[in-house]
Amino acid sequence: MSDPVRKLDRDACWEFLRRHEFGRLAFHLAGEVHITPINYAVDGQTLLFRTSEGNKLLGVVMNDDVAFEIDEYSDDHATSVILRGTARVLEGQEAYRADNVPLRPWVSTEKHTVVEITPTEMSGRSFDLDKPWTHMR
């Protein structure tokens, strides 16, 4: 029997991130860890997201240490990619990088600030699931 858990190499992690556009960002703010959903786009070996003024922006400006997680699952398979890295606000001309990737706000609010996440660590796993209770339905 093959191992139901497989590690993804870095290239497979990036490919998984490119195929999706929604994940969860964890950041520090006022001595607490916060987590929030974001839509994002991959730009080279970085992630970009747009935000407006608020806790998320304040958190990444005051402490650039962040984590990001994305996953998908079905009845018989799951995949998860987690990265840790640094976040920084893109200023001036650099912010126009967001115009070259499929990154647009999902809700009709103004989000003019572009933030880049550069991974320092990345890991991914793929799982063959055995959920016998799903067959009881």
Q: 96 pLDDT band (50/70/90 cuts)?
A: confident
Q: Is the pTM of this model over 0.85?
A: yes
Q: How far apart are CA 41 and CA 43, in angstroms?
A: 6
* Mean of the per-residue pLDDT values of the chain: 90
Give the pLDDT confidence of 44-70 residue by residue, as tens digits: 999 999 998 889 999 999 999 999 999
pLDDT of 100 reads 87
The helix (run of H) or strand (run of E) holding residue 6 is: strand 5-8
Average pLDDT over residues 104-122: 88
pLDDT band at residue 102 using 50, 70 and 90 as cut-offs: confident
How many Cα atoms are found within 13 Å in the side-chain-facing hemisphere of 122?
20
The CATH code of the domain at 5-136 is 2.30.110.10
> Rounded mean pLDDT of 67-79?
92
- CA torsion 5-7-11-15 (nearest 10°) is 30
Angle (CA) 85-49-54 rounded to 5° is 95
Residue 18: phi and psi, rounded to 5, are -65, -30
Query: Is the alpha carbon torsion for 98, 103, 106, 108 positive or negative?
Result: positive
The rounded Cα 66 to chain-centroid distance in angstroms is 10
Letter string b/e over residues 30-53, b meaning 16 or more CB atoms within 10 A of that residue's CB: eeeeeeeebbbbbbeebbbbbbee
Residue 37, beta-bridge partner list: 24
Q: What is the pLDDT of residue 4?
A: 85
